[in-house]
A and B are shown apart, each in its own frame.
Chain A
């Protein structure tokens, strides 16, 4: 009779592979295996670094007018010493804007606004939308119907247009624009949350909690919600990308952040008529918006792939 195969008898690599991996480790490994997600994380990391150390990185105050301080022309193109700009001229790597301010410093400070815009609007939408969706999914019946029909109506408007209409009523300004984008984003999170609450509701642990007499509020907040957060995180990351894009669009139209705030969309909007004479004033803020949105999109895609167990099985 052959010897019973014990774990010791198995090849070392095999044992290692069979050792159970925690879900968290699987997730982190999955995320890091995706090249685009890593690129997204690096880009986002740089952006956060830029936002935190804006004071140190930016050579000038973003709203300081340089008239009388330096010999620079209005809307002067970039001057980089390394690329042959005369050393006796002050260095402005992104050039000078229409109000004689250093564009690079304004773009650097703009990172703070775009991160604030992204996180605050999506945070607002997740809290309101998540709660509405959770209540709809958990309570069912009439309240479900009512909440979801209202969400359907909000979704019936193209997002940017509804945001424009809301800002038209509230009046232009950064906070109102954020509020408008927050409101417009609510239905997406309500839908996602409702769907995941509906599936979590059928789980054994919820029935167990009901059986031991837990109150509906406790079941919802302690048992169901923590298990329904994953899709919201994925949606939220992608949602930040959309929110930044929309907020920049509102500011571009003059409905969001107002000058002299160094917000990228507003910087683009004020100088858009100068695109033929001073293209750098349009190019750099737009590039900053695109890269930021790209970072969140890449990370969101990576998170979705790493968090979706179905995709994980397919890959391994």
Chain B
């Protein structure tokens, strides 16, 4: 098993290297003078010369790439042009929002998608099956941003003054105090230390932060704000998971060991949930891993619509403002998350199917 893990981890190194190469190339392909692009049109020749020397831009391209790689590996993504702050700090502030959104959307997608797929497969060709599959087809064809806007219209405007009202923007209601857990517990942290940023990152996961500080008011409020964006974001993965669960389970339900399980006199529930589902899980886990790409891409759109201060929204703003260090850094980080998750998915195969470990 450990050999398999090692092999799989080693195999993802060239991909990570490739990601850095692509983002480096994208950064270098920006039209115009890099100095003027970063320091602004008014930068003098003298300032530009110093900038070029400091950033190693007068070095040969392979050396530049090596500098870029060592910077990124140390977590140094440079300075944002628009905010004049290190990109890494902006990342610490913004990434938790996106993680919270993506995970809650994924959770909804799994909690609805898998049961819907199971019911559809067990009641194959029934009206429930047809309805689920029609729903799934509409789900995969849904423009996330359109659904988000329509949900906001229905729940924030039409259902205003009813108990079903949901907020259409922001992470929590203005004025609510989400004190970071390290302050609540009186931890003194050295500002700008690595530990401080680590804690800050965790504290920016509002749901996590409010749970460990027992701040139920903030927790409820944050969850309420998260409902509309996560539901909008979850539709496409939900539809894909439901379709895959159905087809994978249908295939397994026709196999001999399912018949044996039935012949033993097991209840249908046990046959499906214990015998069939365990073997049908492999392709389902694969699409769950792959749907994370759709989630992270969709997060850009969802955060824009619901005015959420996450990675996606700042990436969109960075493009409009041509803030290249941010675009570059955030693309790297998201791609690395994506690759890591798929690595974890691959490793979970080995757990689900012992034959894979031996190959």
Chain A residues within CB distance 8 Å of chain B: 36, 149-150, 152-154, 156-162, 164-169, 171, 241, 245, 248-249, 252-255, 265, 268, 272, 275-276, 279, 282-283, 285-287, 289-291, 293-294, 297-298, 301
How many Å from the CB of B137 to the closest CB on chain A? 6
Q: Name 9 extra pairs, CB < 8 A, besides A156-B19, A282-B150.
A: A36-B137, A149-B14, A149-B15, A158-B292, A164-B319, A169-B29, A249-B145, A265-B143, A275-B152
Query: Which residues of B have CB within 8 Å of A298?
Result: 137
Q: A168 and B338 in contact (CB under 8 A), knowing A153-B19, A297-B140?
A: no
Number of interface residues of B (CB under 8 A): 50
Q: Do B141 and A248 touch across chains, with their CB atoms under 8 A apart?
A: no
What is the CB-to-nearest-CB distance from B289 to chain A, in angstroms, rounded to a whole number? 12
Q: B291-306, CB under 8 A of A: which get 1 and which 0?
A: 0111011101100110
Q: In the complex where A156-B339, A171-B31 touch, is A297 in contact with B137 (Cβ < 8 A)? A: yes
Q: Which of the residues A158, A282, A293 comes within 8 Å of B293, measured between beta carbons? A: A158
Chain B positions near chain A (C-beta within 8 angstroms):
14-15, 18-19, 21-23, 26, 29-31, 133, 137-138, 140-147, 149-150, 152-153, 156-157, 292-294, 296-298, 300-301, 304-305, 315-316, 319-320, 322, 324, 327, 331, 334-335, 338-339
B15 with A282: CB separation less than 8 A:
no
Closest B residue by C-beta to A276:
B157
* CB proximity of A110 to chain B, nearest CB, Å: 13
By beta carbon, the residue of chain A nearest B11 is A152
Decide: A158 near B143, CB < 8 A? Known: A153-B22, A286-B150.
no
Interface of A is mostly: helix
Interface SS of chain B: helix
Candidates B153, B316, B338; contact of A158 at CB < 8 Å: B338
Known contacts: A165-B331, A171-B31, A253-B316. The answer to whether A279 contacts B153 by CB under 8 A is yes
Find the A residue at minimum CB distance from B12.
A156
A156 near B338 with CB under 8 A, answer yes
- Contacting A164 at CB < 8 Å: which of B143, B292, B300? B300
Inter-subunit contact B327/A168 (CB<8 Å)? yes
Using Cβ atoms and an 8 Å threshold, which residues of chain A touch B144?
A: 249
Given A153-B18, A168-B319, A289-B146, A276-B153 contact (CB < 8 Å):
yes
Interface centre among B149, B157, B301 (most CB of A within 10 A): B149
Among B14, B146, B147, B153, chain A packs the most CB atoms within 10 A around the CB of B146
How far in angstroms is the closest Cβ of chain A from B108?
19
